Structure formats: C-alpha cells, structure tokens
Structure 1
Amino acid sequence: MKFRPVWLVFVIPSFFAQAQHSEISKLLDSAMLVWYSDFDRTQQLVLKAEKFFTDSTATVNADLIELYKLRIQSCLAFSRLQQMNQYIVELEKLLIKNKQHFSREELSKMKLDMEFPRAQYHLAIGENKRALESFLNIKAELMKVAQTPEVCYEIYLQSNYISAIHRDLGEFEASVNEQLSSIPYLICSNRPGFPVVYRNLALTYLEKRDFNQTGKYLKLSEDSLKRALQLWPEEHARVAISLYETQAGYYERIGHPDSAMMAMIKALSLIHLRSVNNLFKGRIYYRLGVLNLRLGNLNEANKYIEQAEANFKPLEGDPLHVARTFLLKAEWSSQSGNYAKALAYCEKAEMELAARVEKGAAGNSIIVGTISKKELFNILHKKTQVLLRLFEQSANRAHLIHALNTNQMAVALFDSTANEFSLDKDKIILSELSYSAFEYGIRIAHRLYRLTGDRQYLEKCFWFMDKSKGILLLENLRLVNRFSGIEPEWLQREKELKAEMLWAEQEIFRTESARNQSDKLQSVRERYAAIKSDYSVLLSQIRSKAADFYRLRFDHSVVPMQTIQQQLLKPGEVLIEFFTGDSILAVAGFTRSKMYMQVKPLPTEFTNLINKLQSALTRSSAASFTNPARELYDLLLNDCLAELGSDMKSLIIIPDGLLGYIPFEVLMSSDQQNSFLNNNYAVYYAHSATYLHEQLQRKLPDPKYFFAGFVASGNPKLGVQLATRNEALSVLKGAEHEVASIAKLIRSKFKIFNPAGKTDFIKHAPDYRILHLAMHAVVNDANPMMSEMIFTVADSAEQSLTAGELYGMQLNSTLAVLSACNTGMGQLHRGEGIMSFSRGFAYAGVPSAVISLWKVPDEATSKIMVNFYRYLKKGETKDRALQLARQEFVRDNPEYAHPYFWSGFILTGTTNPIEFPSAFRWYWYVLALLVVIAGGYVFRNRLMPGRNLS
C-alpha cells in the first residue's frame, strides 16, 4: 500500500481494503501518484477502471471505491467543486446500490469515509460551521476504535481541518490547541507531516499577532521541510509554497519587506512543477502583488495582480480568492489615485462574498448573508476608506453618507462575529483587529456633523466611541442584570462550560510552563477541545431554540447621549470619554445640560508624553512630572472643561488605550503645585458610559456581613519563594496596622483574615459588602489570566489567586479595595482596555474598586486607606472620600507631596455612598428597652388615682 504526504488542505483518503483485481489495483496505484498534480490523468484512470468493470461484469470492490474517492480529492485539489459535489453524490448512490457486496463493518467504515469528502466540500464552499460539525463527528467516531497507525493518521487529518476552521473563524486558542493535540497521532501514524503542523501553527500565531511564536514555528517548519523538498520537490511543493507565503506575511508584519520578497521568490521558483496548479500559482502571484504594492512598485504589482486573477478565474466555486484579488485591485487603484475604479472593485469583491444583499431604506446595501465574515469585513473597511477619499476629492456629501453606512455594516459584522466566539481571548483579538473601523466611524460621523449640524451624526460619533470599549464586561454584566433569578438551563450550562474552558486553558499554561512537562498535557488538550465543541453546540442550540434570549445575551447596544444626561449624571458631575486611534484623539464631554465633542489629530508626541508622566510618577525623586502633566491637561481636558463650566465638582473619566495607565488626578491646569485636578474634582473611572449605566441598573445583593479584611503581609521567606517569578516581594509592614485601623472605624460586622489564605477568600468573600485586600499582586503580561494575588496560609506557604479564578467567581460586594501593588496594571488590549485585577473584580460582579497603578509605598498606602474609610463612614461618596483622603494625606505629610505617594490609587465604577453598620452593641438595645419599661412602670403608677403609697 502506497502513501503520499499530506498538504495543508488536500489530503490522502484512507485505503482500507486489499485489491480484488490486479488491473484495478494497478490503476489505483497510478492514480495515487498523479491525483494531486494531474486532474485529467486521474479522470482517465477512473474512466478506464469503469470500462473494465463494464466489460468484465465484475462486482464493485474496495479498490474501485478508492479510485472514485481519489477522483473526488483531485477535484478538490484543482478547485473543481461542482464536479466534486457531483462525484460525491454518484459515489454515495453507487454504495447504496451495491451494499450487498460489502459487510456491515465495511459499509459502516465507508459511510464514515464518505462524510470526510462531504465535509471538505462544505469547507471549500464556505460552510465552515457545517464542515466543522462533520470533522468533529468523524474524529469522535475514530477515537472510539483501536488506534492503529492508519486510524491515528485519520485522526490527525481531522484535527488539521478542525484547527484550520477555528483559525478562519478567529478562534485562535482553539486552533492552536487542536493542532498541538494532533502531534501524538501524527507520531503514531509514522507518516511525514511536521512541516505542515509547524506551518499551520505559524499561520495561526501570525493571525493572532504573536510574532515570537510565529517565527519559532516558521523555523521549525522550514528545517523539517528542507531535506524533503530537495529529494522530492514535486510531492512537497505545495507545502513549501504555503510555508513561503506565511514567511512573507510574517516578514511584512514585522517590517522586513526585503525578506518577505525573498520568501516569495523562493515560492516562485517552484511554479514550474506539475503539482503546482492554478490555485497555488494564483496565490504566489497574489502575494507578490501585495508585496509590490506595499513597496510602491505599482507597475510590478499590477503585473502580478493580473496573473493572480488569470489563475483564480478558472477555479469553480472559489469566491474567496477572486474577492481578495478584486480587493487588491481596489488597493492598486487607490494608490494610483483612481478612487472611482477602486470603489467599483470593492463592490465586485463584496458581491463575490455576499450570499444575499438587500436594499436598505436609504438605498444602501444591507448584507444578509456572507461566505466569510472576516474577508467581508476587510472589504467593507477598504470601501469605507475609498468613499472617504472620493468625498475629499469631490466634496460630494453622498459619498460621506455612503461611507458611514458602509462602516456601520462593518461594525455589525464585528458584532455578529463576536457573538459566535466562546473564548474571551478570541473576542479581545477581534476587538483589536476591528479597532480601525471605529476610528473611521468617528472621523466620518464627526465630519458629517460639522457639515450638517445634524445631531444624529453627533450621536453616531459618540456611538462609535463608546461601542469600541469593553464588549466582554458589558456582555457579562447584562447577563447578570437581565437573567439573574431566571437561570434557564442553557444559561447555567454556558456558565459551566466557560468555567471548564478557563480551567483547561490555565492547566495547559501551567503544564507548558513547568520544567518537566507531565503526560497530562495531551489529555488536557483533548479535554479542552471537547469542551470547546460542546460550547459551539450549545450556542447553536440557543440560536435556534431561544432567539430572543440569544439576542439579549449578546446585546451590544450603546446608551444614548440623552440617557447619559438625564439618568446617569448627577448634578455637579461631568463625564468625559476618550478615544485614541492611530491618527485621531476624540473627546466627548457631558453634564446634565451641556455637551462637548471634539475630534482632532493625535499628536506625534502623545505616547512619549504618557511615558514621561508615567516614569515621573513612579519615582519619588523625579521632579519632571510638571511639564507632561500640564501638556496632557491642555490636550485632554482644558477645552472640554472650559466649555462645560467650571462649577462642576465630580469628574467621570472613561479612558482609552494608554490613558488607562495614568491617574488624571495629577494633571495640572497651570504650573502651580496646587493646580492638580485632585484639588478641584473628585475623579473616578469607568470602562464605558454604557457599562457604567448598566452598573447603576443592577440590583445589588445584601450580604450578611459588612467588611472583610484579607491580610497577606508576607514574611522574610516569602521573597525567596517568589524569586522564580523575577519578582522580589517585600514584607508589607503596614498591612496589618492598616486593616486593624479600618476595623476600629467599622466596629461591627467585620472580620479580619490574617494571615489570609486563598481558601479564606474563595469561601468567605461572597458574604461581605466590602472586600479589602492588603497583599502583593504579580502581573503576568504574557498571560493576563495568570496574574496573581499572593495569599498565605498558617505555615506562611505562598498561595495565589489568579485573575482567571477571580473571573469565575460571583461576588456580592459593593466595593473591593485592592491595596496590593499594581492591581490596576496589566496588558493593554485595544477595545477592551487594561487586563487588570480591577477588571477581574468587575467581571465577578463588584461595581466599584479602588486599585493601584504602581507600587505605592507601604506607609502612604496605609494612611490613605484609613483616611478613605473614615470619609466613607461620614457618608461621602466613594470618589469624594478618596479625594479627601489624598488631600488630608498631603496636608498632614508635606514631605510626601510628590504625586508618587498619593496619586497611585484610583476608583473605578460606581460612587454611591455606603451605609456603615451601627456601632451599638446588642446590650445597648437591651438596656434601652429596660429603661423604657421601667419608665413606663413609674409613669403608670403615678397616674393611678387613690393609690396609698404610705
């Protein structure tokens, strides 16, 4: 039995029967050598076999079936999809007609084998979800039988396809996991295939924008392919071309266009080989067209684009490559200054991918179905840019309106795609990839507002700003608000599956990070894949059986500006929201009666200003914070506050991007030291206006107890224990005093856990209204879900609560105070913000949190925290209490007037005052009751007439 290597997409079917006739066996052997390189020759061999059976009246046997299956694979290899579908149907009919010639086991195996080309066909025509279900089903059935090398190879093939579909859908974590879990089965099969596995992993990481991992797997793929390509170039040409394509994309992304061009020249050197068909030729020319466009070589680019189109056009049922070519021609036309032609190509590309397009009320196209949401998003985004250029060229307002409508369609695709993702990580990546659509929406809507004065465009401008933020937090909070107490079966099942996925993901990370990786890694990967599959099935069930629930479950609507002014804001409050794009800075401001909107170019020194201020604030000796603090005030706040009025007392800041790393309280309205924003405004922060509004709608639970202090101040051994994290953690000498002082203020319904263990927090935290954590935190930028809060137990052994575990909790608290270091820091993701512990507590249901932006000195932390609680007890709102606590600290400790000491703590979320429990003990109530009874007795006796008291 002969085997050929597997390629990225085109695979060899299984062969499971011995030849019954030598003639058919010879034809089958010949077909196995040419099916991937010569479609016509494969067709001739099948026809010859059919003639043999007709002339000899022989019965249908397994070899003939395999020959038919090879022809189906050849159709796929040469993109003859209509013929592929026709031959699949014919073979299914043939099997039914001749089923008496096969055993029950053979028929069962043939039925499973026929599901494979059918799944391939669905994938080829863009029916990814349907294909995924089939591949998962085949894999599940194969996992039930004895895992011979042949079966292992079949499992490996299914995993290849499953991984590719997850990648195309933007589900990168699932794609990587599936591909890695296929490796043991590839080893079991004793087949070559590592160049494909490594290249596929590199492609997934490239789309995920993890360039370190991309480079690693590209090198592994090239190293494992090198010798095979030298010995058998015909068989390995397609693998090599796919690898060089990915290399070119990688080098292009990291800014090495010359290396990208060299990779594609290597691909071009293989184009003469017989196995390199029109599809692969088209891909080579397409990528060369892209690279030459990037380099500004318009003539060379045009030549390659035309060659790509000539190779893609003959392909049946392959709209993706045709659409990509049209999009590339649109880019070429744009660079050539012919925007009308560019628009025409965008619309051609759009029509290639749109399954159904309807006309909207305004005459614009509304896409009802599509083959690929990701590719269509790219087309709509390019079309938006072209329409904006046409407006700038012609001043025709219709182009600008058309651009806005097109951009809204792109954002609608973003919403639709996000709803289909199960993992938060994948949604975060999607938000980052889609961020530029929101930037263009803001620019266009604001331009239309300036041209027309029509308030609807101002509304739309704010809609884009707010919609770009915090989709994950909003989904989670709306889930709590709208379905708490209902707990439909699917909602409970969803919670369970997401918790299991999170657990599996963390287990994979821990096992991979361990020095000695255990054997359990493969089983955890397989468990992860099974959970992911179950979650996809659940979402499909929800969509079909509970459409209203599904719509509300993934509602991403934005709070209207009128609602912000009339319901969200209190008298004296200002809300200012920011959007920082690649080229614009947008500022929206609201009071109850006024509003402000400005969109201006983002200064080239913007990032440098943020870095300067951050650096100056995190070092107590630095005196250089004044200039950046003053410049940022002028850039971000000066005009807005001047227009909205100076009589405001409270400021809600909704930051974006790098602005999330700085405390606005230190921005200065003048060069005078007393001009800090903290001196004039109580400041607090929110993830988005919509999220803040949703938080205020939430009915807060009433926990049994009031205050829980969790103290893990550490000991001299703890620093040594944590050295493996590259983080030397000192003993927090003031932590115990801090929490004890707060407890004295509260006086009742409190408990101090000291030393606090992780189990203490998990078990008791849901029972308290205020959670105060005085301990260290360690931020993990590589995997934010593995960031840790460091607890201790009685023997001072270190324990940690990860951000991922926190996300899985359901807390009932009103406020979390995280006096640990760096609890407001973390990895920045555009569209979702900073992956900090503040976000984790918000996800767990806590509407307010006090967090730190750097390692605030222990003594300063303790004093500010005690002051904060004292003002809270007096009935101040949370933002005002924190403002007064800072001011009192500076007033009492002038030597610590530098913002490094007092501005590190900020408040996020809602600001409602907190009612403290009464300090009276039960015996005071009893004593008061006794006094009342005694007084009543005396009074009663005095009123009784004629009573002889002698």
Structure 2
Amino acid sequence: MPLMASPGGSGGDGLLALYRHADSLYHLNQSTPANDSLALAEFTVVADVLEKGGNHGGSDTLLTGALLKKGILLDAGGDYARARVAYCRVLGYHPPNDSLIFVTSVLVGTVYYNLDRFDSASYYLLRAESASGRFKDRDNSVRLYNTLGALYCDNGNYRQGKNYFDKALELVRGVRVYDTAAAVSLQINIATASFRVGQYADALAIYRQLLGYRPLRDYVYENMGRAYVGMEDYRSAMDWFRRVKVEQIPGVLNEMANAELHMHRLDSCEWFLRRLREVVAASGGKSMPVGAVASDGKTASGAARVHPLDMGVNAFYAAAELNERGDLPGALASVQQAIGQFAGSINKKDAYGNPTNFTGAFAYYRLFDALVLKAELYDRVKDLAAAYATYTAALSLLRYIEKSYATDEAKLFLKKKSALVYAEALSACLRLSILHPNGDYLEQAFLIGEKSKASVITANLEETAFMGVAGPERDLLQKVNNCKYRIARLDVKSEGMTDSAALAAMTREKEGDELELSRLQKALEKDGEYYRVKYGDEGGTVSDLQGELTASQALVSLYVARDVLHVFVVTKDGLRHVAVDSLAQLEKDVEGWLDALKTTGNGHRFSGGEIGRRLYTRLVKPIRETTRGKTEWVIVPDGVFALLPWESLYADEEGKQWLVETTTMSYRFSSRLLNAEGGAGMKEGVLAFAPFASAGDGGATSAGSGAAGAVGGGSGAATGGGGSVGGEVFQRLPASREEIAGLPGVQYLDTRATKQQFLAAVNHYPIVHLATHAVSSMDDAAASFIAFYPAGRGVMDDRLYLEELYGLNLRSTRLVIISACETGQGEVAPQEGVISLARAFAYAGCGSTINSLWKADDQATSAILGRFYYYLKRGETKARALQLAKLDYLKSDAIDKSPAYWAHLVLTGDSGALYPKRRWILWAVEGFALLVMVTVAWNWKKWEKKSRRIGNAF
C-alpha cells in the first residue's frame, strides 16, 4: 500500500491520491482477489481518516464514495455484516433526495436480505422503490426488483415475486448491450415462481430454453428437478438433480433426499441428508447464501457454501424421514431444530416453544410447514395440548402471511392450500373439549373455524374503515381502491383476448398496477393504527356474538372437515356443537336437492322425495334439536352448503311443511360480519334499475312514497325488445317494470338504466334494486357480470363485472336486491364462501344483499319482492320481511308453489330492520285505507263492465 501523509494541507492531496488509486483498482476490467483486497484496504484507510478528522458535515463525497465502494467490495466477498455497516454509514452521512441514497438503499436492503433480516430488507428496498422513478439507474433498478422478487417468494407470495422479476427482466431487455447472465438469472426466478403456484408446464418450458446457457446450468437442473417433484414425478426429478454439481449447489442434496422420501426410500433419503451435513462440517460450519443476489445483481458464483436456510430444510426433511420410520421423539427434536432455524426467535432447546412474533421470520412458508409437521407429530404421540398449541402458532402465522399479501388472488390461493390445516386444528381442539369439558376448548374450536371464514372480505372491510377518517391515510386508501379497480378492469379486458402481443402488454400493465398496489399498502402500514388493525389477530369471543343475537336467534355455523360436517350453534344461553358424519353422502343429497330445484319448470315437477326426507333427518332435525326452539337461524355455511337455500328444506319427516313456514332465515359469510350493517344513505329511498323492462325508450322517474313513475315512448331496444350486451342477447323482462314501480326514490328504465348511471348514483341511496339479467360463471369469477342497458359503447360500458365491484365503495348502502338469475352462484372457495356477485357487494361494504340462486320465474320473483317491500316498510326485519313475502306467495293463487319458485331469493348479511316498527294503530289506518282502495277499484270495474254493456247496446 502506498504511504499516505496525514490529512490537511499536502496530506489532503495524499488522501485524494490514495482514493484515486483504490478507485482505479476497483474499476479494473479483470479484477483479481489481490487487487480487490488492496482496494478495500485503501478505501478503508480513506474513510477512517476522514471520519476521525470530522468536519465533513455530510457533504464529503470522498468519504461517502470510499464507504460505498468499501461496502460493495465487502458485499462481493460475502462479508455482509461489514458491508451493512459501511452502507449504513453512507446513509448516515449523505443528505437525502440524492441518487446515492437510492443506490445505497438498494445495496443495504440486498445485504439485509442476504443476512436473512427480512424486515430491514423490506424497509430499505421499499424506500428505494418509492424513489426509483426519479433516477435512471438501470443496473440498480434491476437489482432492486430482483431482490424484492426474491423477498416475496421467500415469504410465499410467488405471484408478487414474479411481478418484480418480470419488471426487472423488462429493464434488462430494454438496453442495447444485452446482459445475458442477468436475463437468465431472472428467467430462472420467474420459472421458479411459476411452478410454485402450480404452473409446471410454463416453468419447464422456460427452463428448457435456458439449458444452453452453461454458467447457470446447474441452477436450471436443480429447478427442473424441483418442478418435477411438484408434479409428483420423482424419478424424473432425480434424473435432473443428479446432473447438478454438488460443489456448486450443496442444497441440491436436500432436494434429492426429499424426492427419495416421497418414493419411500428412507435409507437413500437419510444418506443424502447426512452428506449435506458432512459438507457443512468440512467447510468448518461457515455459511454463505447460495444463489443469493450479489452486489452485481447476479447469482453468486464460485465455491459455494451452505445457506442457513438449507440447514433448516435439512432438519425439516430429517424430521419427515424419522416420522416415516416411526421415531417420533427424534422427529420432534429435528423439526424443532428446523423451526428454530426458520424463526430465529425461539429457544431451540424448548420442545414446546413456538414463535409468537413473525416479523423478521426466515421464510414464512417453510416455517409454516415445519409448525404443521410438529403439530401432527404431537398428535401422533397423543399430546393433544402441545398439538393444539402448535396448530395455534401455525394458524397465527398463516393469518399474518395472508394479511401481508396485496392481492386477493394471492390470498385465495393461500387459503386453498391451507384449508386442511384449519380442519386439523379444529379437530384437535374438539377432542380436547371432550377430555376437558370444563375448559374453553369448544369455544376455541368454534373461533378457529370463524377466523378462517371470509377473512378476505373481513380484512378489506376493516382496512376500508379508515376511509371515514380524513387525512393522508384516506387519500392512500382511495388510491388503493382505484388501483384495485384498474386491476379488475384489466382482468376483464384480458378475458378471451387472442392477440398475444396485446395480451402481453396488458399483463405487464397489470403487473405494474399490482406492484403499485403493494407499494401503496406498505405506505399505509406506516400508520401505527392502520397496522394494528390490519395485522391484529385477537378477533371476537362467543360472548361478543351472544351480545349481538336476539332471544329468538340462533347462529348456526357450519364447518366442513374431512368426512364430517361440524355444526356450531350459538344462542343467548350458550354454545353447542353437533357432528354430522358421512359427509360425502350428505353433500351428494344437497347437490341432488339443488338439481331438483333448478330443473323444475323445464317440463318437470318438483319432487323432494327421499332426498328431502334424508336431508331433514340428517341435517335439519339435529340442528333444530340443538337450536332448542329458536325461530330465527343465522346460517354461516361452508362448502356446498353455501349454495343451499335452507328454507326450501322439509320442516318435518313427511315433507308436509317447508322450513320457511317455521323458521326465519338469513346467511352470513362469517360470524365476524354479524353486525356489519352498512352506513346511512345520503338520500332516502330506493335506487332502482330495470334495463330490459320494455321495447320502448326509457327514462328516469323520481317518485315519492308509493308513487309510480310513468316511462314510455321511444324507438325500442335491439333484437325486438331485448337487449344486446357485448354481442349477447338478453330477452325483455316485462315484470321488472312492475317490480320497481312505486318504489320511493328513483327508477331508471330501459335506455336510461346504464352502467354509467349506476356508478354515478350507487352510493347515495340506502337500498339499490337491480331488476335485470346477470351471468355467473362457476369456473371463472372474472366472467360474471350484471347487465345494464346496451348503450353501444362496448362490453366494458354495458356490463358491471364481479371484479369491478371489488373496487367500489358501497359503505353507505344498507341493502342491494339483485333480482337477476344466478347472482348467488359461483365457485365455492374454501372457508371464503361462494365467489359470486353477492359476495362482491359484501366485499365492497354493502350491509346485505338479496340475490337469486338459480333461474326463476320473473312473475313470482316480482310478486315476492313487492310483498318484501311492504313488510320492510312496515318495520319488519329484512329476514322476517322476506320470509313473510314467501309465505304470502305460498298462500296466493299461484299455480306452482314449489320451492323452485320462491326459495331462490336469499338474504345474505345484516338481517335487521331498515324502518322503525309501526304501531298497531298505524297498521289499522293503513289497512282501512287499503280496504277503501280495493272497494273503489272493485266498484269501478263493475261500473266499467256495465258501461261497456250500455255502450254496446247503442
């Protein structure tokens, strides 16, 4: 190292010369370890002297330059701890709002990631992301997005990780000098994220394209093997794993052990696990992330050491192998070691210890799998208390992970993967309640089920509650809603698109919006109260629920678990549980009942027959006995039972009476939404739409209480009285005019009943009534929509799609009546309910909905809803008003009174009253007035007939 004079005077020149010499070594095209070591030493001297001299005041570029390049050299050498110190000192000295802050934030965030300190990594990387738009720094932007992608994938949010990888790859491809190594690394990451979400064919196609790139071929081999493991083709997986150089990727030994474990070759599994431990012992136990993002944005190369994560995975696989051998104590010890490695915040020697704080956890999905295995092991050794405690930790982690996800799509994917764990936890808790009947295990079992239900809806409603608070948080939440709405519109636009270039562009636009959504939500989390609400996991208690129930109500919550239907009944006086076994047959009967309801009217008569009697005996009867005479049921369904209108079932063994005749019914997505009533409307009355009421032109009519608006005249809709929405022809609904006539508020008919008018007016009335057509897709929720009058501007302007509803604010809406076919239909998501149009309204904040479960007679629907409004205005609760309206239909002179004609309309959400209860004297006055009107009308008809006879005589 050249001699250096002390700083100041000519010494300052010497210090500058030393910096320039180090900088020339740093920028050599062909650097060597010796040159890097010398440059590091010289940068260290420069930084130390300047720091000791002081008076640099945060503006000394020589000091910050020396510290930054020192950090980069330490980073490249794998000394992440010292690199972190150097980077943090740069941030401490340098003023804000500078490109150097952006670069250093990216580098320190990457170092924190390599040190497995995920919270700190996230903080600095998101800080850099918020400033990335101000600087054109391609290399560091690529590094930023690559590391963020890796961070999200490590925590199980593969879709968001893929979005970041795609964004980084787009930057790499956007320059003249193509960085092949960076592009290949990113494509490997994209393919890995794809197979993690089950897109194995897509992943393998990418891997095969990359096989020709020799420097990263080992990583391709390993990931192809992992993809084949996901496809359960373990022999093919081993073929690819064997091609990997172990000295390059030691962690492949874990994956080989896992493949052997799946093929039940336990000795081979144990051999591969032991071999990895030997590699670690031979390296002196040193650790270095393999395949982590290095300071140059590429995959670390050279002699690889083992990542701490690999040792956690090794212990996890060892526990699974010992479990297969029947060595349960050994398996428990090994899985506890894995948990300690993944969590890093518990006493590894305490076999009962479980993590309680998940901030900074090593790898969420790995930790979750380890906790689940530990719980299963304790279950096997008959230590139910320990199993339950571990399941509780696993479910708390699961809820934490779910809340950290930005998109609902990612949350629903997570729920599909985790449904079985909730079922196992609930089962363990119920068995404990039998062993300890005086404990609170029955209540805990009930709460496990409830916390799993409608968590996506609940989280959105809790978060959007901040919309009512003025300030920057409100503005951010509005931006979040706008972002969700844009994503929904892109989902809808991409449906059926065949132009691959346009689809790719739309996919990139959606990825950008999803990244923006994540950034906005992270910005919101800086508000302490918002963070507490979002990540809080306390939930309510049974006592809280009992306070919401009336003396006549019973909350009936169903939970489907393996071959058992668990029914929890909460009333004012207690919590009870009943288990209904032979679930498969019960579900088959429900499907048969629904089929009978839906096919009635197509030349068939309804016949409940033996199915109805079985459903009464096995479902209705045990619940009636458990509810102990309660006349109103609030049902929280699960699985296929979410598609069942319970009021259509038999109320006795012979089928002489329907359940609607004895019991008032309403439905909830979760008991946590029991008191979600929606806000007060800005105006009184009903906002009503009937886009296909007639062939004529329409308009908007305002009406006072009980007054009907007359709308008529015009040129007529397309197709001779129907309407063509996006090329799909809808028939006229002549009864829809009568259905909304006379409703207090405003009615939009025919040409005025447009989607644009709906969006403009929707959150200004407490009640919204949609008498129209709808399409519900059982396989693709994005294809479900409500039809409005075809204004001729295109599909997006004539249809209100389900996903668009998610972005609306309906917190002022108390009730939406969707008088359209099959609006309650959709895919049944585990513990989330039916992904239907009705659910979308609840997600948007609407207090309750009345929707249809199948295509039904529009005259019957109109008659029932007319009576519903009558009883609602009289002060009855929404649930009771709907029941009374259906009973009126059963007492009417209708030709067909089977449940196919009246049970399709169901109330989901708040069941309370919208109007104050009228006293008997007012009912008497109203009844007298009605009698006078009927008498006058009858006499008028008699006079009219007499007049005709007289006229004919002339």
CA-CA distance at 1:731 after TM superposition: 1.0
1:947 is aligned to none
Relative distance call for 1:678 and 1:23 in structure 2 (3 A) is: closer
RMSD over equivalenced CA pairs, Å: 4.4
**What is the correspondence of 1:223-622 to structure 2 with a 5 Å cutoff?**
223-226=208-211, 228=212, 232=214, 234-249=215-230, 251-252=231-232, 259-268=233-242, 270-271=243-244, 273=245, 276-277=246-247, 280-283=249-252, 285-311=253-279, 314=285, 316=287, 318-357=307-346, 365-368=354-357, 370-391=361-382, 399-479=383-463, 485-504=468-487, 506-507=489-490, 510=493, 514-516=497-499, 517-518=501-502, 521=506, 524-525=509-510, 527-528=512-513, 531-532=516-517, 534-542=519-527, 546=528, 548-565=529-546, 567-599=547-579, 603-620=583-600, 621=604
Other structure's SS at 1:896 match = coil
Q: 2:569 corresponds to which letter in structure 1?
A: G
Kept after mapping to 2: 8 A contact 1:660/1:834:
yes
Does the 8 Å contact 1:781/1:826 carry over to 2? Answer: yes
Query: Which residue of 138, 141, 164 corresponds with 2:150?
Result: 164
1:806 is aligned to 805
Q: 1:854 to 1:180 in 2, by over 3 A?
A: farther
Q: CA deviation at 1:166?
A: 2.3
1:499-531 per-position Cα deviation (integer Å, ceiling 9, x unaligned): 224424533662585444559648735752662
Cα separation, partners in 2 of 1:452 and 1:534, compared to 1, 3 Å = closer
What does 1:718-737 align with in structure 2 at a 5 Å threshold? 721-722=724-725, 729-734=729-734, 737=735
Alpha-carbon contact 1:633-1:667 (below 8 Å) kept: yes
CA-CA distance at 1:577 after TM superposition: 0.3
| Counterpart for residue 933 of structure 2 | none
1:653 to 620, 624, 635: 635
For this pair of structures, how many residues does the alignment match?
824
Assess, with a 3 A threshold, how the Cα gap between structure 1 residues 665 and 206 changes in structure 2: closer, same or farther. farther
1:277 maps to a residue whose letter is: E
796 and 776 in structure 1: CA distance in 2 versus 1, 3 angstrom threshold: farther
Deviation at 1:772, TM superposition (A): 0.7
Distance verdict in 2 for CA 1:802–1:309, change over 3 Å? farther
1:871 match: 871
Structure 1 pair 387/582, CA: closer, same or farther in 2 (3 Å)? same
Distance 1:87 1:495, change over 3 A: closer
Counterpart AA for 1:909? G
- Secondary structure of the 2:578 match is strand
1:177 matched to which residue of 2? Answer: 163
Q: What is the identity, as a one-letter code, of the residue corresponding to 2:907?
A: L
- Post-superposition shift, 1:753? 4.0
Counterpart secondary structure, 2:822: coil
Distance in 1 (CA, whole Å) between partners of 2:92 and 2:553 is: 75
SS at match of 1:907: strand
Q: Which residue pairs with 1:200 in the alignment?
A: 189
Q: Percent identity?
A: 20
Q: For structure 1, which segment, 362-371 or 454-463, has the greater mean C-alpha deviation from structure 2 after superposition?
A: 362-371
TM-score, normalisation: structure 1: 0.77
Decide which structure has greater helix share.
1
- CA drift at 1:50: 4.8
Q: CA deviation at 1:306?
A: 2.5
- The aligned amino acid for 2:770 is L
1:720-869 equivalences under 5 Å are 721-722=724-725, 729-734=729-734, 737-744=735-742, 746=743, 748-755=744-751, 756-779=753-776, 784=781, 787-792=784-789, 799-811=798-810, 812-869=812-869
Q: Is the partner of 1:301 in helix, strand or coil? A: helix
* Matched-pair contact (CA < 8 Å) for 2:430–2:442: yes
Q: 1:677 aligns with which of 659, 683, 687?
A: 659
Structure 2 CA distance for partners of 1:917 and 1:710, relative to 1, 3 Å: farther
CA contact (8 A) 2:26 2:39 kept: no
The whole-number CA distance in structure 1 between the counterparts of 2:588 and 2:217 is 49
Q: Deviations over 1:90-143 (max 9, x none)?
A: 89999999x9xxxx9xxx988876665543331122223433454456667776
Gap change, CA 1:595 and 1:241, over 3 Å in 2: closer
Q: CA deviation at 1:711?
A: 0.9
Structural mapping, 1:134-153, within 5 Å: 134-135=124-125, 152=138
Q: Which residue of 2 aligns with 1:664?
A: 646
Q: Which of 117, 123, 126 is residue 113 of structure 2 equivalent to?
A: 123
Displacement of 1:581: 2.5
**Secondary structure of the corresponding residue to residue 555 of structure 2:** strand
- Equivalent of 2:200, from 207, 215, 227? 215
Give the secondary-structure state (helix, strand or coil) at the position aligned to 1:789: strand
Q: Is the 8 A contact 2:422 2:448 kept in 1?
A: yes
Q: Distance in 2 between matches of 1:266 and 1:772?
A: 60
- Relative to 1, partners in 2 of residues 1:633 and 1:206: Cα closer, same or farther, differing over 3 Å? farther
Quickly say closer, same or farther: Cα 1:533–1:465, change in 2 above 3 A: closer
Contact 2:558-2:567 at 8 Å conserved across structures: yes
The structural deviation recorded for 1:730 is: 3.0
- SS of equivalent residue, structure 1 residue 759: helix
C-alpha distance 197-358 of structure 1, shift in aligned 2 (>3 A): closer
Alpha-carbon contact 2:352-2:386 (below 8 Å) kept? no
User: Do the aligned residues in 2 keep the contact of 1:864 with 1:886 (CA within 8 Å)?
Assistant: yes
What secondary structure does 2:251 align onto?
helix
Residues 428 and 831 of structure 1 are in contact (CA less than 8 Å); yes or no, is this contact kept in structure 2?
no
Which residue pairs with 2:899 in the alignment?
899
SS state at 1:597 partner = strand
Residue deviations 1:810-832 (CA, integer Å, cap 9, x gap): 33232211011221122332232
* Distance in 1 between residues matched to 2:660 and 2:817, nearest whole Å: 19
CA contact (8 A) 2:75 2:83 kept: no
With over 3 angstroms needed to count, the CA separation of the structure-2 counterparts of 1:686 and 1:26, relative to structure 1, is closer
Report the alpha carbon displacement of residue 754 of structure 1 after superposing the two structures with TM.
Answer: 3.5
Shift of 1:47: 2.6
Structure 1 residues 122, 742: CA separation in 2 closer, same or farther (over 3 Å shift)? same
* Structure 1 residue 286 displacement after superposition: 1.9
C-alpha distance in 2 between matches for 1:626 and 1:433:
38
Distance 1:858 1:202, change over 3 A: farther
Deviation by residue 1:839-876 (Cα, 9 ceiling, x = unmatched): 22223332121011222233332333223333334443
Do residues 191 (structure 1) and 179 (structure 2) align?
yes
User: Normalization by structure 2: what TM-score?
Assistant: 0.76
Structure 1 position 382, deviation (Å): 1.4
Structure 2 CA distance, aligned partners of 1:237 and 1:669?
66
Structure 1's 362 and 162: CA in aligned 2 closer, same or farther, altered over 3 A? closer
**Equivalent-residue separation in structure 2 for 1:914 and 1:235 (angstroms):** 66
Deviation of 1:173 (Å): 4.2
Q: Give the letter aligned to residue 519 of structure 2.
A: D
Structure 1 unaligned spans of 5+: 1-18, 32-44, 76-80, 253-258, 392-398, 919-923, 925-950
675, 678, 691: which one aligns with 1:712: 691
